[in-house]
Chain A
Amino acid sequence: MTRRDLLPWVLLMVAALVPWLAGLLDQGYYVGFVRRMMIFAIAAASLNFIMGYGGMVSLGHAAFFGIGAYVVAIAMVHGVTSAWIAWPLAVLFAALAALAIGSISLRTRGVYFIMITLAFAQMVYYLAVGLKHYGGEDGLNLAQRSVIGLGLDLASETTLYYVVLVALATVMLLLNRAVGARYGRVLMGIRENETRMEAIGFATYRYKLVGFAIAGGLAGLAGALFANHNLFVSPAALHWTQSATLVVMVLLGGIGFRYGGLAGAVALLMLEELLAALTDYWHLPLGLILLAVVFFAPRGLAGLFARRGAA
Chain B
Amino acid sequence: MDAMQHSLLRNARFKAWEPLLWLAAFAAPALWPGHALIVNEIAIVALFALSLDLVLGYAGVVSLGHAAFFGFGAYAAALFAKLVMPDPLTGLLVGMAAATVLGALCSLTILRGSDLTRLMVTLGMALILLELANKLDWLTGGSDGLQGVIMGPLLGRFEFDLTGQTAAWYSLTVLALWFVLARRWVHSPFGATLKALRDNPLRAMAIGIAVHRRLAVIYTLAAGVAGAAGALLAQTSGFASLDLFALDRSADVMMMLVIGGVGWLYGGVLGAVVFKLLHDVISSITPQYWTFWIGLFLVVLVLVGRDRLLKPWLWLGEGKAVQGAPK
Partners in one complex: no
Interface set of B (CB-CB < 8 Å, partner A): none
